[in-house]
Chains A and B, each alone.
Chain A
Amino acid sequence: MKRNSSNSHKKAHKAHKGEALLLLCLLFLVCLFVIPARAQSTDVVQAFEQVAALIRDDRLAEADKELTKVLRLQPDLPVALNLMGSVRAKQGRLAEAESLFLRAVQNDKNFTGARMNLVYLYLLKRAPDKAIAQLNEVLALEPANLEAKVLMGDAYLAKNDLQKAEENYLAALDNKLDNAGALFGLAQISRVKGEQREVAIYLNRVGTLIADSTAPDFLYKFALEAMQVGLFDAAKSALERAVSLKPKEPSYLLALGIAWLRKTDLFEAEKLFRRVLVLEPTNAQAQLHLGYVLLNQKKYAEARTWLEKSSRTSAPIPEVFYYLGLVAQEQNNDAGAIVLFEKAVRQLPSYAHARIALGSSYMKLKNYVRARQELETAVKLDPNEPTAHYNLALLYARIKEPERAKEELRIIDQLKAKGASNNGVVVLPPKSNP
């Protein structure tokens, strides 16, 4: 229970972080877009453009200094307030950012840029109603604003009002299939409805549209969604593009590694997890995934090192015990392996693979009674897992029950015929998402 709450907290934190990145990117776009329209003179325009450039280059202290100077002279200048809000948002000081954007809007009711910043902020803060209110103002001023329509869809999606979300996405599309944000929103709606085929169709279209995208965070967001529906090639392409735009972003590299893993290319995955660990040596997810990759490459000693590191960095999930058990098993330490598999099974009693491994170790130690118990449980938990049937076949052959052994082999053949073969993969990758 504790682990679950901790995990959900982490997930929330990650989602928060990811959305913050997205928000910041969009804030810049808004700032850049708005400055020329608001500036009173060429000098002022140039000054604000320089400030926007500073923000874009993460030179926040310098931007802050310049804006402070301006706001000291003109405390209610909407453009300056909006830019200062962007600085605060980028610094993670969201309450201050909101206050600055609101002041900008109060001083200029028609300042749609500041309103859009507020929308992103509210979506990030999971306040869709406030976002909708701002979007209504924006759309009243700019009825053709497609971005606002997409965000309106996002806001209704956040409220779980699928119908209104869909209406807004469709309005943004206007019968054209060229708005990636709207299509992405429709994909999410289809996912919520459980329409996997539609999700894939929308995401495939999005994948085509964003091939040359310069918005790494949207590429990342898309890739995560695509991976969930098995579009690993599309996810990989998007992530490769994201990584080319931001080569040192660990979350992109980790996700790309996982995409390669899902494509069963352990070598590419290994390279990426190692890159993450150069950037973030204590990234538990990268440690776990690297350990997993090395385990599958039968590089046991190094696999153990990374898996143990991962278990020290964060509370170990059942997979870590299972993988470490496999390492021990391969190193002929079945007694040690059993202890680890037992831990995995205690954490997750339905963990069929851990039970198979447990049965295998008991078999090696010639404790056929316990082996049989674990393997038969594993088969009940996952009747379509060939490895479980194979180990049972092995066990029955060893305890001189050849007919039962043959029956298990027959089941494996049937599973293969049904396409349920594991393709030789014994160890499933960690379930955790980037």
Chain B
Amino acid sequence: MASSCCLLNQIRNQSVFIRATNCLWLLTLLLVYAPQKPKPTFEEVSPATSKITWKHDNAQSPDRQLPETVGAGCAFLDYDNDGWMDIYFVNSGPSDFFTPTAPLKNALYRNNHDGTFTDVTDKAGVAGGKFGMGVAAADYDGDGNIDLYITNYGSNILYRNNSNGTFTDVTDKAGVTAPGWSTCATWFDYDNDAKLDLFVSSFVFYDKSQNPLCTDPTLKQRYYCVPRLFKPQPSRLFHNNGDGTFQDVSRESGIAGSPGKSFGAVATDVNNDGLMDLFVANDTMPNFLFLNKGGGKFEEIGLAAGVAYGEAGRPRSGMGVDAADFDGDGWQDLFVANIDQEFFSLYHNDKELIFTDQPGEIAPATQLLSGWGLKFFDYDNDGDPDLFLVNGHPDDMIETRVPRVRHREPLLLFENTGRNFKDVSASSGPVFTKMFSGRGMALGDFDNDGDADVLTSNNGEPPLLLRNQGGNRNNWIGLQLIATKSNPAAVGATITWQAGMLKRSRLKTGGGSYLSSHDPREILGVGIATKIDYVEIRWPSGKIDKLTNPPLNSYVKVVEGSGIKK
């Protein structure tokens, strides 16, 4: 009796095993034969379609003044709070070395909700009028309206949004003029006082008398000098006083102690201590990693962290930067785009404030390129951050001097493979076969279809608006975070979401890319999952909002402390 029982158990167990094996086999078959969703592509939206006719004028002169080749940036922002991303472009303008023959303007384009845009620059009063570089959009005064900070060669401009479609230049009153040559600006809250502070990258000390003669004897023509020839300048940190004014805390914070030739900057938390740090790319100088020590102090730790120099101890030409936890280990990794022959860097965060440059497939793909605008984002809504790179050599005559390096360069798209990235540019649309003099790059869902689109600004060329076609084939949820106790941009918030087996986390960083500003909303991809179990937002204030079974494939407003706003 006992033996027959065992036998039966054995048979039962065996059949269970066989069933399980069969199931696995069936699952394998399904995985193999299940129709793969086509990957998203990026489609150029022509000026005829978008009605965006603005073009960047780089003011290129025979003297090859350096600021001519550096700009400019662009932004996605919702200036009129209608829930649709508008667009801002920065242009050159009058300066000590340039007098435009016709007026040059920055441009604000209002989103008409139908794929077209209308130029509202003059009505809004945000034309700039200086030799423009970059833009950073954020609600610095917490009044619910997005304001604009424009960096320039000369001095900067803060436009306060009047909430009626117009802006007022409040630069002097706010105390954020920052004379000199500013490049990237980053809004973030370094002291967690719920107000947005402002970091402004400074490039070299420059005026028209500082332009050395850099020529090619065979061409008898000047070319743009390498920034190595110019003196570095300290960047600036402005503390938001909460009354519409700012205090320059560059010196006391430690930021001014490290003069640089700074371009891209991103605010992130590299050691998970709840304080936002700053990673700043420098051109021909070591990069800076400003570790936020608390109490309003920063310590520059780039060397020890291993992110300052190239592998031979040679400073590289860092331009665009970004930060994200690309491998899902809970630690923020860093990315810097450098000039040709220097390879771009993907710095993996090894914890304990040590990084290792592990660019993988990105390195050979970027050996001959010079990178500016770039952003980690989930282009296919599978839940992990991919990477988009905008490239272009700063020297328009480089092709006469360096073989295989071109002035106009292609865009690149890398898909996250879990531990690294794969170049998918070739299969992501014809636009990746074209060449551009790329500089700025902004990210935003301008058609509100649930996948992130791309806007690039090109030096001396028209901008490029790219519609993400098919990123929303995977499921998603879009969050508009409305802070009540934290800084208005919710920079520093950590968003965690789970949909079945897929669990992801994302830190809301500040800045990133080059001279550009992004859609503040967060699109959380969940792949093929048809239900999101929860979304949790850990606000910089420490408050936590957990959304259970939130709606799929739509944008929701999440108010700090009270969850989804109906």
A contact residues vs B (CB 8 Å cutoff):
265, 267, 297-299, 330, 332, 364, 386-387, 389-391, 393-394, 397-398, 405, 409, 412, 421-426
User: From A395, which residue of chain B is reached at the shortest CB distance?
Assistant: B304
- Asked if residues A421 and B314 are in contact (CB atoms below 8 Å), the reply is yes
- Asked if residues B356 and A424 are in contact (CB atoms below 8 Å), the reply is no
A398 to B342 CA separation, bound complex (whole angstroms): 25
> 8 tightest A-B contacts by CB?
A390-B313, A397-B304, A298-B363, A426-B312, A397-B303, A424-B314, A387-B312, A299-B364
- Asked if residues A298 and B359 are in contact (CB atoms below 8 Å), the reply is yes
A398 to B301 CA separation, bound complex (whole angstroms): 10
- Flag B303-347 by CB within 8 Å of A: 1 or 0 each: 110100111111000000000000000000000000001110000
Residues of A within 8 A of B304 (CB): 394, 397-398, 405
A367 to chain B, nearest CB (A): 14
Residues of A within 8 A of B314 (CB): 386, 390, 421-424
Residues of A within 8 A of B479 (CB): none
Subset of 10 A-B contacts with CB under 8 Å = A267-B403, A267-B404, A297-B364, A298-B359, A298-B367, A394-B303, A394-B306, A397-B304, A421-B314, A424-B342
- Asked if residues B356 and A364 are in contact (CB atoms below 8 Å), the reply is yes
Residues of B within 8 A of A391 (CB): 313
- Asked if residues B343 and A298 are in contact (CB atoms below 8 Å), the reply is yes
User: From A423, which residue of chain B is reached at the shortest CB distance?
Assistant: B314
| Residue in A298, A330, A421, A422 with the greatest tally of chain B CB atoms within 10 Å | A298
Residues of A within 8 A of B342 (CB): 424
- Asked if residues A332 and B310 are in contact (CB atoms below 8 Å), the reply is no
Residues of B within 8 A of A421 (CB): 314
- B556 at interface (Cβ–Cβ under 8 A)? no
Contact A390-B363, Cβ < 8 Å, known A332-B356, A424-B342: no
Contact A405-B404, Cβ < 8 Å, known A390-B312, A422-B314, A424-B314: no
| Residue in B304, B309, B403 with the greatest tally of chain A CB atoms within 10 Å | B304
A423 to B403 CA separation, bound complex (whole angstroms): 18
Contact A386-B312, Cβ < 8 Å, known A297-B364, A297-B367: yes
Q: B-side binding surface: helix, strand, loop or mixed?
A: loop
**Which of A267, A364, A389, A398 is in CB contact (< 8 Å) with B313?**
A389
- Asked if residues A386 and B403 are in contact (CB atoms below 8 Å), the reply is no
Residues of A within 8 A of B403 (CB): 265, 267
**Which of A298, A405, A423, A425 is in CB contact (< 8 Å) with B303?**
A405
Residues of A within 8 A of B312 (CB): 386-387, 390, 422, 424-426
Q: How many residues of B contact A (CB 8 A)?
A: 22
- Asked if residues A390 and B358 are in contact (CB atoms below 8 Å), the reply is no
- B354 at interface (Cβ–Cβ under 8 A)? yes
A387 to B313 CA separation, bound complex (whole angstroms): 6
- Asked if residues B364 and A298 are in contact (CB atoms below 8 Å), the reply is yes
A302 to chain B, nearest CB (A): 10
Residues of B within 8 A of A424 (CB): 310, 312, 314, 341-342
Residues of A within 8 A of B343 (CB): 298
- Asked if residues B367 and A393 are in contact (CB atoms below 8 Å), the reply is no
Residues of A within 8 A of B341 (CB): 424
A409 to B343 CA separation, bound complex (whole angstroms): 22
User: From B313, which residue of chain A is reached at the shortest CB distance?
Assistant: A390
User: From B365, which residue of chain A is reached at the shortest CB distance?
Assistant: A298
Contact A426-B404, Cβ < 8 Å, known A298-B359, A299-B364, A393-B303: no
User: From A330, which residue of chain B is reached at the shortest CB distance?
Assistant: B358
A403 to B359 CA separation, bound complex (whole angstroms): 31
- Asked if residues B311 and A426 are in contact (CB atoms below 8 Å), the reply is yes
Residues of A within 8 A of B367 (CB): 297-298
User: From B341, which residue of chain A is reached at the shortest CB distance?
Assistant: A424
A394 to B307 CA separation, bound complex (whole angstroms): 10
| Residue in A389, A390, A421, A425 with the greatest tally of chain B CB atoms within 10 Å | A390
A389 to B314 CA separation, bound complex (whole angstroms): 11
A132 to B304 CA separation, bound complex (whole angstroms): 67
B371 to chain A, nearest CB (A): 15
Residues of B within 8 A of A299 (CB): 364
A360 to chain B, nearest CB (A): 9
Contact A332-B313, Cβ < 8 Å, known A298-B367, A393-B303: no
- Asked if residues B364 and A393 are in contact (CB atoms below 8 Å), the reply is no
Residues of A within 8 A of B363 (CB): 297-298
Residues of A within 8 A of B313 (CB): 386-387, 389-391, 393, 409, 412
Further pairs besides A389-B313, A390-B314, A391-B313: 10, Cβ < 8 Å: A298-B359, A330-B358, A386-B312, A390-B312, A390-B313, A398-B304, A405-B303, A422-B312, A425-B312, A426-B311
